[in-house]
Structure 1
Amino acid sequence: MDVPADAASASSAENAPDYPLGWEADVVLRDGTTTHLRPIRPADADALQRFQQAQSEQSSYFRFFAPVRSLTERELRRLTHVDHAERVALVAVRPGADGGEDIIGVARYDKVADGEAEVAFNIADAMQGKGLGSVLLEHIAAAARERDIRRFVADVLPQNSSMLKVFRDAGYEVTQHLDDGVVSVAFDIDPTERSREVMADREHRAEARSMQGLLSARRVLLVGPGPGNPTSPEAHLARRVIEAAVADPGDTELVVLGAPGPVPAAPRLVAVGGWDEVGDVDLGLLAVVPDVAIDAVRRLAAHGARGVVVLAAGYAETGEAGLARQRELLRTAHAAGMRVVGPASYGIVTTTPGARLHASLAERPPAAGVVGLFCQSAAAAVTLTATLERRGLGVSSLVSAGHRADVSGNDLMQYWQEDPATEVVCLYLESIGNPRKFSRIARRLAAVKPVVVVIAGRSGQVVPPGHAVRATHAPRRLLDEMLRQSGVIRAANTHQLMDVAQVLAHQPLPAGNRVGILASSAALAALVAEAAAAAGLVVAASSDFLPPGASDDEIARTVDALYAPGACDVVVVVDVPVVLPRTGVVARAVAQAAARTGRTTVASMLGLHGMPDELAATAPDGRLVRIPAFSTPEDAVTALGKVVEHARWRTEDHGSHVRPEGVDARRARRLVESWLGDEDTTRALDQDQAAALLACYGLDLWRSRQVRTPDEAVAAADELGWPVALKSASSALRHRTDLGGVRLDIADAAELRDDVARMRGVASSVLGETDPVFEVQRMAPVGVACVVRSAEDLLFGPLVSFGLAGDATELLDDVAYGVPPLTDVDVAGMVRTIRAAPRLFGYGGTPPVDVDALEDLLARVSVMADDLPELASLELYPVVVAESGVSVLHASARLRPAARRQDALRRALPG
């Protein structure tokens, strides 16, 4: 249906029932700047005409195969009036000089056949080469898939090499041929492994570049509240920034507009009286109320700023009105090409020599080092910076995201992966807004640099005021599984976060888990050995203790033996003298041995803490090696154990994403859409529908028949084949053999009739049912009964769980979880990590079952859950795994209209 021609305002178009508001998105381009994408509106006619008139003759020729200078009224109407279904157009926009919007790119498709559409692009000359065409292709393809379009075709002139490259490089299987001087291109737009990788790579480069634009700022503008209210929170924030700049200006120039009082004379500190005096800046610091901040963002765009740090609060944490202000701030900044740090941010700091940036509330910036540190609240930043100083740890950069309305830990991980100054990444997270994206990015980063994470509240389900986080019903253990899958090191608290960071920042990753212990007494050595075993370490035979008053020669011989080639992989040194004072001989000997051998070492020595000079020595290559000193031996061993575990994860094979054969995702999509129709409610599938959906993923649901009478039961058994099982159809009795809800291995009609009568009595006495329903099913091969479930969570997306049927799952919660997409190694781990797993591998003399078939089933369920966000829940119970093969005996499935996943197949910023 066409939108009426007199739909003059953007708001009316947005509120039209057929306007797909969910297609609007802010995106990061290849150069790190941002722009806004949205469906085209009838009111865009003038902007589209301006866009066309500004295009070069070559760009117009490439788009229309003719040098079109201007569009006719008829063409404008056709191009701006679309039905958002068979005719779709997306535009990329930025603020115009007249206060409106300028179009900088257009992507559109027109349906030409069932499931097929012709696609076309037109990118502004000034925006070509910035990746806008690739982003528009991702978004127009996502929109097309929502409208059941599965294939794009396009006609492209051979000279238009950039457009052909966009198609070829997108990761789809592209076919093309030259016909009458035109290249005809065709490709399926269903996501492939390659297209997902391409999107992730482009997202990584763009987001890393946008963070580089913030962290490399050389000229910063502080926008303060002015002298009108010197006691306001904003005035205090502005004064703190100015005082910090006076104490340590870094290598950047701070320009102050709206100072709350006199600005002292200081190097690299400049006060200006108005926006016309500001000049070009790289970054804005906003210490003003929200309404003023939004206007300041508009003005900053004209001065070349790449981003803004919002120090003040007053946004989403105050309620709906504040959330609306926060969204307006984001829209304004993203449309102008800028990223937003905050609100309620503590600021950002970098320590790059010659380009140090101190745009924060910290009185003194942290020392230079190799730790990239991200936190959210300002309070956490205060605590962490104080801890860094006390422990003698340095950072490469520090970012406090506040309410993280835009910039998050995901963005910083993208940047730190390529940053040569960062060797260790530490994240203090109060909430995780996009776990799927976090998992994907963290897994990629952890493969090259250690990532240490502490989650406030431990469960990860705490939502601080101002944080936009979707609700979740996922079990609390799921977060642990997601972090384990991602390869990150989870710390229990900030103390442990810094403990682990100390080891990673100054010691090499260990080659194994054999620990050599050197203690100042035999009793102490035994206690450390116990702690080491609890941390997953194996105590080496080279472990020893030094008696009180040991001579320098004895100390040297003992240390040399501990650090001998092959003696151990890591070393723990504990020196707590009881009577005689500590002489420092042990510390010097250990430091020199650790530097000489490169063996990972930690220490707990009375009077030493952090990174003391007493535990430092020069390596053969000239590097200064420091051994971290801990307050207690337990802290040292726990931190070392986590580092050893990460080093092992780094060397393991993490497998490849499962891709089972015989999957027909398109048919599954058609079935789901036909069953849901236009309904906006949850729908339970019957057994025939569940069987059809499972068959799309190569899973065979065993047939069963519902019966009420003995005659019906016998007829069903004759049809399905003897022997049979008889089960109550009631969910309360279906799996309860102990209550008489299941009868197995029924061999003849007489026995079956008798069992029906008995189970009718059970249903009447237990449930009060007068006309109970039963199921008859052919007996499956003998094996181990399991339960496989999947669910679609608003926060985590698809989840898959596995356990053995019965009390192990229902009472003891002996369940393994996975977050698709899963690798073959993830699937194998799910099967083996439950405590009851030995029953699958021949426990107690029973024959092992077909674990390969079980893993294949789990893989197929994970792919189905990943493909179908409409699959609200799926339960396969029981799944009987025999010596050969696996049997799915019952399935329960529910569908509901899908909410857009956080980590959808299109790049988009929060908004």
Structure 2
Amino acid sequence: MAQPSSVAVAETLPAETRTALQRLFDPRSIAIVGASTSPTKRGFQAVRALQQAGYAHPVYPVNPKATEILGLEVVPSIDGLPYGVDVALIALPGAAVPDALRHCAAVGIAGAVVLANGFKETGDSGAELDAALARAIAETGIRVIGPNTSGMLNVSTGANLVGLQDVPTGPISVVTQSGNMLLSLVNDNRALKGPGFHAYIGLGNQADVRYDECVTELARDTRTGAVAIHSEGFADGRAFLVAAASAVEDKPVVMLRGGRSEIGQRTALSHTGSIAGSDAVATAVLRQAGVELVDRSDDLAVVAGAMATTAPIASGGKVAILSDGGGHATLAADALTARGIELAQIGERTQQVLRDLLGGPASVVNPVDVAGASDADPTVFADAVDALMSDPAVGLVLIVGLYGGYHLRFDASLTAAEDATAERLLELTTAHRVPLLVQSCYAGDIVSNHDRLRAGGVPVINSIDHAVRVVAALDRRGRRLATASQRSSLTLPAPAPRAAVGTGILDEPTARALVEDAGVDIGGWTFARTIDEVVTAVTGYGRPCALKIVSPQVIHKSDVGGVKLNVVGAGAAENAQAIIDAVAENVRGAVIDGIVVTPMADQGVELLVGATHDPIFGPVVAFGSGGVMVEALEDVTFRAAPFTEIEAHEMVDETIASRMLDGYRHLPVIDRTALARFLVRVGNIVAAHPEISELDLNPVIASDTGIVPVDVRIVLSDKLSGAHA
């Protein structure tokens, strides 16, 4: 095994053309600041780990007292290092870190990995030290991973700044906040006989380097096949969405989230805010960005590993199940159907090929059951897969059951035939360009044909549940890639001029005008300042109208008698006076600016449409079932704004409300394209106006004559979200 270079300390290393992050993630020279002669110290273990991993580039231990560590010449101080080292691993107490970073920057070190804890993760006690660290980073521009990190690991080059040994090389790149999650992933991958790892970045406190930067750099790396993430929070959620949306066009991004409890308080003034739990928002917008979310810790390794090596299902392709026996096939079909994944309708020509191949007892409709034909001749699997992959309806073949274990189940003489079948299956996946996935109850055994498949990029998985989970991920990825050009980059536009002066709730006329000026059709409305103007407006509309008081002291109008419905011309004056009197009686000192007059909406579907500035992800739009049932049903989903029409259609399709749009019972058929465009325009408003903390249009009435909000309420704030600041 190669050893790190023990070179004489030079004045300057060769000039670098790579960016600081590229040098940090793939270092060609490393300094160990705080190197130690004690085997129990991290400063010693880091040098040893680099040697054991075969890191073949210069390593510079830095220690003021020692002269040699594990055969390497020791540099007495950071200032004595050659100019232009790529990375410093700082194994010093937290209090010494800020000054150490300044010295590192002075000698041209591009990045640092800071192990020490005692910063913001400790609360108030670490605030001062955290501020000192932030100042040092800002002053020097050095890129920092950590603090409170387990380290960084480039398995491909042996740049092991974590210390974990015997990590297999492969295409999975990992970003976590928890070092234990790396250990868990490595062990899970080993148990799964997965494809191995390229890189690991332990972000720790994210004082500098963030998830979005890691995803961008790792996705660009040709050695990365998929990025696996464990996250407990984002320093800049919107930046991550933008980075992920771009990265997934090249590489899958798979995430297991921790810390999914609600964060931030929502004002009770808005229905949208009251049910916009942070977990629901995060789940929706991360999926919008193309991130494959997993809910279980044991899903992360299997899904990331499979996505790193397996092509997605082509757009329009469906799944064909091939099995030996009905039990596994039935379970797989049930699980796929439960996830909304369609099974392929196999053509008659393909069915005839399968009948000729498999004989009378076999089932040749999907799922296809070889019915024992493979017991003595496992090669029939390859012929069956060839037939299925030749069918234009098939986008992926899932083999389930005993595959690969016939030499164990029946006779060892079948080993050669199974190995040959594996080689042919690999040829077929290449020739047909149709992905193959294998679930076998022998996946955990030492099986040479399984190893051949894995080496060729075909996942072999023990669990049907895991196999179906992978199929679902490949299906989503295929549909995502097919529509990539129709999706938002999620980049925020430059802020528009402020909507209004001040903060708090806008009066309804101002709110309506703002929304209308942004291109959102909100139907007819009139702001009447006198009773005569109310009468004129009601008469002019020629249909029953709603009257709503406008007063800065009145928030919930109906609670104080400030609303009248179904008002017609003859009763307009009387009803207008009635709500004025009711508000004056119920709200002492209320200033009445006027009355908003709107025609009563046609019968239709009541929907929730609203928007808010999420503290993590910035502007988001909410959509779901509206009216009095909004809290009861909790039928709401979200999209980060701005978004596109196809994303709006997907948003609508996720909800229970979607079922009501196609003429359900007595309800009218709703123009889904008009609704999608309505949502897009609402998103454009909140994306361009960071001062809008809430925009509430609940309920919106969708009818065969249009999409009309009954109420329009906007809350302004001086605070910008992190995503806009």
Tell me the TM-score normalized by structure 2.
0.79
Distance 1:284 1:771 in 2: 65
* Counterpart check, 1:648 vs 2:479: yes
Distance 1:432 1:612 in 2: 42
* Counterpart check, 1:509 vs 2:335: no
Distance 2:208 2:107 in 1: 21
Letter in 2 for 1:523: G
Secondary structure at 1:272's aligned position in 2? Answer: coil
Letter in 1 for 2:32: L
Q: Can you list the C-alpha shifts for 1:570-617, whole angstroms capped at 9, x where unaligned?
A: 222333589945856585365234302114222332342399643244
CA contact (8 A) 1:654 1:825 kept: no
1:455 shift after superposition: 0.9
* Counterpart check, 1:444 vs 2:258: no
Q: Can you list the C-alpha shifts for 1:155-181, whole angstroms capped at 9, x where unaligned?
A: xxxxxxxxxxxxxxxxxxxxxxxxxxx
Distance 1:720 1:770, change over 3 A: farther
Letter in 1 for 2:27: A
Distance 1:655 1:275, change over 3 A: closer
Distance 1:860 1:611 in 2: 57
Partner of 1:299: 103
Distance 1:595 1:496 in 2: 25
Partner of 1:380: 181
Secondary structure at 1:836's aligned position in 2? Answer: helix
Alignment of 1:728-739 (within 5 A): 734=558
Structure 2 residue aligned with 1:528, among 304, 321, 332? Answer: 332
Secondary structure at 2:281's aligned position in 1? Answer: helix
Q: CA RMSD, aligned part only?
A: 4.1
Distance 2:65 2:463 in 1: 47
Structure 1 residue aligned with 2:368, among 523, 538, 544? Answer: 544
Alignment of 1:257-406 (within 5 A): 257-258=62-63, 265-266=70-71, 269-275=72-78, 277-280=80-83, 281-352=85-156, 355-364=157-166, 366-390=167-191, 391-406=193-208
Distance 2:517 2:141 in 1: 44
Secondary structure at 2:634's aligned position in 1? Answer: coil
Distance 1:610 1:647 in 2: 31
CA contact (8 A) 1:786 1:803 kept: yes
1:502 shift after superposition: 2.4
Partner of 1:566: 390
1:486 shift after superposition: 0.7
Letter in 2 for 1:557: V
Structure 2 residue aligned with 1:605, among 422, 440, 443? Answer: 440
Distance 1:525 1:519 in 2: 6
Distance 1:649 1:780 in 2: 41
Q: Can you list the C-alpha shifts for 1:90-139, whole angstroms capped at 9, x where unaligned?
A: xxxxxxxxxxxxxxxxxxxxxxxxxxxxxxxxxxxxxxxx9xxxxxxxxx
Distance 1:438 1:746, change over 3 A: same
Distance 1:373 1:800, change over 3 A: same
1:869 shift after superposition: 0.9
Partner of 1:211: 21
Letter in 1 for 2:525: R
Distance 1:691 1:762, change over 3 A: closer
- Identical pairs, percent: 25
Letter in 1 for 2:234: I
Distance 1:826 1:372, change over 3 A: same
Secondary structure at 1:360's aligned position in 2? Answer: coil
Secondary structure at 2:608's aligned position in 1? Answer: strand
Distance 1:754 1:413 in 2: 60
Letter in 2 for 1:782: D
Letter in 1 for 2:182: A
CA contact (8 A) 1:237 1:312 kept: no
CA contact (8 A) 2:144 2:208 kept: yes
Q: Can you list the C-alpha shifts for 1:30-60, whole angstroms capped at 9, x where unaligned?
A: xxxxxxxxxxxxxxxxxxxxxxxxxxxxxxx
Distance 1:254 1:656, change over 3 A: closer
**Which stretch has the larger CA shift, 741-750 or 317-326?**
741-750
Partner of 1:592: 423
CA contact (8 A) 2:219 2:226 kept: no
Distance 1:874 1:285, change over 3 A: same
Letter in 2 for 1:561: A
Q: Can you list the C-alpha shifts for 1:58-95, whole angstroms capped at 9, x where unaligned?
A: xxxxxxxxxxxxxxxxxxxxxxxxxxxxxxxxxxxxxx
Partner of 1:632: 463
Structure 1 residue aligned with 2:292, among 486, 489, 493? Answer: 489
CA contact (8 A) 2:261 2:278 kept: no
Q: Which has the higher contact order (CA 8 A, sep 6+)?
A: 2
Distance 1:308 1:671 in 2: 44
Distance 2:545 2:73 in 1: 87
Q: Can you list the C-alpha shifts for 1:643-692, whole angstroms capped at 9, x where unaligned?
A: 22212211125526599xxxx999x72552xx22xxxxx42211232233
Distance 1:671 1:719, change over 3 A: same
* Counterpart check, 1:782 vs 2:602: yes
Distance 2:124 2:61 in 1: 32
Unaligned 5+ segments in structure 1 are 1-129, 131-205, 463-471, 677-681, 905-911
1:474 shift after superposition: 4.7
Distance 1:283 1:811, change over 3 A: same
Instruction: Work out the number of aligned pairs and report it.
Output: 657
1:883 shift after superposition: 2.7
Distance 1:876 1:648 in 2: 31
Secondary structure at 2:720's aligned position in 1? Answer: coil
Partner of 2:449: 614
Distance 2:583 2:80 in 1: 87
Letter in 1 for 2:312: L
Distance 2:442 2:448 in 1: 12
1:707 shift after superposition: 9.7
Tell me the TM-score normalized by structure 1.
0.64
Distance 1:862 1:311 in 2: 42
1:720 shift after superposition: 6.2
CA contact (8 A) 2:245 2:489 kept: no
Distance 1:401 1:260 in 2: 31
1:641 shift after superposition: 1.7
Secondary structure at 1:569's aligned position in 2? Answer: strand
Distance 1:259 1:499 in 2: 46
1:297 shift after superposition: 1.6
Partner of 1:164: none
Distance 1:781 1:300, change over 3 A: closer
Distance 1:530 1:429 in 2: 31
Structure 1 residue aligned with 2:283, among 470, 480, 483? Answer: 480
Letter in 1 for 2:302: D
1:549 shift after superposition: 8.7
Q: Can you list the C-alpha shifts for 1:829-878, whole angstroms capped at 9, x where unaligned?
A: 33343212243333336442344443333222211111111112121244
**Which stretch has the larger CA shift, 804-813 or 447-456?**
804-813
Letter in 2 for 1:571: V
Secondary structure at 1:490's aligned position in 2? Answer: strand
Letter in 2 for 1:861: V
Distance 1:412 1:611 in 2: 36
Q: Can you list the C-alpha shifts for 1:269-289, whole angstroms capped at 9, x where unaligned?
A: 433344465334221011111
Distance 1:843 1:407, change over 3 A: same
Distance 1:458 1:610 in 2: 37
Alignment of 1:40-119 (within 5 A): none
Q: Can you list the C-alpha shifts for 1:489-543, whole angstroms capped at 9, x where unaligned?
A: 1112332111112222333323255323233422232122211222333334353
**Which stretch has the larger CA shift, 522-531 or 831-840?**
831-840
Q: Can you list the C-alpha shifts for 1:294-318, whole angstroms capped at 9, x where unaligned?
A: 2222222233211110112121112
CA contact (8 A) 2:114 2:146 kept: yes
1:903 shift after superposition: 5.1
Secondary structure at 1:250's aligned position in 2? Answer: coil
Alignment of 1:744-763 (within 5 A): 744-749=565-570, 753=574
